[in-house]
């Protein structure tokens, strides 16, 4: 990967771009007036373009750049404020002061909705295995400026960790998060997901491990929630109660710690 700047104010951004290049152990390329397409053709490599409020990652051979945006989160928050149904709220039961661990952060849309629900007194932690996604989303949550001021402050509260969720879960104390949440890349594709096309190009595609679910059972205080394609085999594999959503491409499955653990102990 090579690191460069946007063309506007490139000199002012150069120290930041060099710092980022050093952190990724990647070469820095002075932008000057060269077009992005010219850089791509010349370098034949992934390119990270550093901007003032937004960094953009261009994977080699892809026409889908990756950058941070809130995706559907702001619309979903508006639905909550208008007393409309919002699936994550209904599935998690999140309230002010609660804690939420997002094991598959992605663009952090679910984490932002969760942070709105738990408020400043609550805690939201997002874990992302892909280093570039974690870097860009962490930066984007701190610098996004196209929203209400109260929502911008909530964005800044979300704690982002670059780590695989299994190793992160293993480090957490038992019953340390009210809700543990998984939203892995679907086993089947969904054509309508235009908001995450850039994410899909570079996301980590792997199955949800039994060990990860077992660790989630230990860490969660109240509930584990899985969002997945409606055809997914993971709901049955982990013994989840499924909430089917009519005409929706994805369903939710959940495992209640108190109820399900007691039932397991009775068997």
195-204, pLDDT tens digit by residue? 566 786 776 7
pLDDT at 235: 87
Residues in the chain predicted with pLDDT less than 70, given as ranges, are 186-197, 200, 203, 259-267
pLDDT at 245: 75
Q: Which DSSP category does 28 fall into?
A: B
What six digits make up the tokens of 82?
Answer: 């208008």
73-266 folds as Rossmann fold (3.40.50)
Question: Residue 23 to residues 1, 26, 28, 66, 131: CA-CA distances in angstroms?
Answer: 12, 8, 11, 19, 11
Query: Considering the entire predicted model, what is its pTM?
Result: 0.90
What residues contact residue 221 under an 8 Å CB cut-off, 6+ apart? 99, 175, 176, 177, 178, 257
Other Cβ atoms less than 10 A from the Cβ of 208: the count is 20
pLDDT at 260: 53
pLDDT at 262: 43
pLDDT at 191: 45
pLDDT at 74: 96
DSSP code string of 95-151: -TT-EEEESS-TT-HHHHHHHHHH-TTSEEEEEESSHHHHHHHHHHHHH--SS-HHH
Q: Which residue has the tokens 């085999």?
A: 233
pLDDT of 1-42, one tens digit each?
Answer: 999 999 988 889 999 999 999 999 999 999 988 888 889 889
Write down the number of H helices and E strands in the chain.
Answer: 12, 11
């Amino acid at each position: 990967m090579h690191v460069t700047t946007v063309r506007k104010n490139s000199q002012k951004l150069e120290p930041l771009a060099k710092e980022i290049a050093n952190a990724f152990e990647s070469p820095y390329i002075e932008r000057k007036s060269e077009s992005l397409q010219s850089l791509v053709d010349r370098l034949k490599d992934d390119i990270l373009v550093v901007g003032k409020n937004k960094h953009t990652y261009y994977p080699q051979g892809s026409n889908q750049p990756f950058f941070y945006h809130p995706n559907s989160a702001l619309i979903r928050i508006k639905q909550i404020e208008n007393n409309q149904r919002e699936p994550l709220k209904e599935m998690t039961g999140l309230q002010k002061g609660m804690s939420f661990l997002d094991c598959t952060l992605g663009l952090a849309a679910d984490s932002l909705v969760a942070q709105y629900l738990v408020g400043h007194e609550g805690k939201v932690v997002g874990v992302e295995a892909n280093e570039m996604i974690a870097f860009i989303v962490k930066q984007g949550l701190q610098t996004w400026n196209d929203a209400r001021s109260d929502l911008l402050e909530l964005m800044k509260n979300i704690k982002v960790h670059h780590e695989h969720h299994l190793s992160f879960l293993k480090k957490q104390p038992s019953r340390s998060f009210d809700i543990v949440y998984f939203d892995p890349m679907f086993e089947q594709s969904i054509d309508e997901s235009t908001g995450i096309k850039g994410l899909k190009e570079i996301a980590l595609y792997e199955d949800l491990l039994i060990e990860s679910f077992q660790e989630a059972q230990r860490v969660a205080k109240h509930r584990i929630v899985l969002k997945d394609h409606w055809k997914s085999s993971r709901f049955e594999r982990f013994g989840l109660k499924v909430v089917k959503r009519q005409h929706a491409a994805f369903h939710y499955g959940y495992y209640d710690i108190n109820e399900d653990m007691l039932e397991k102990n009775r068997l």
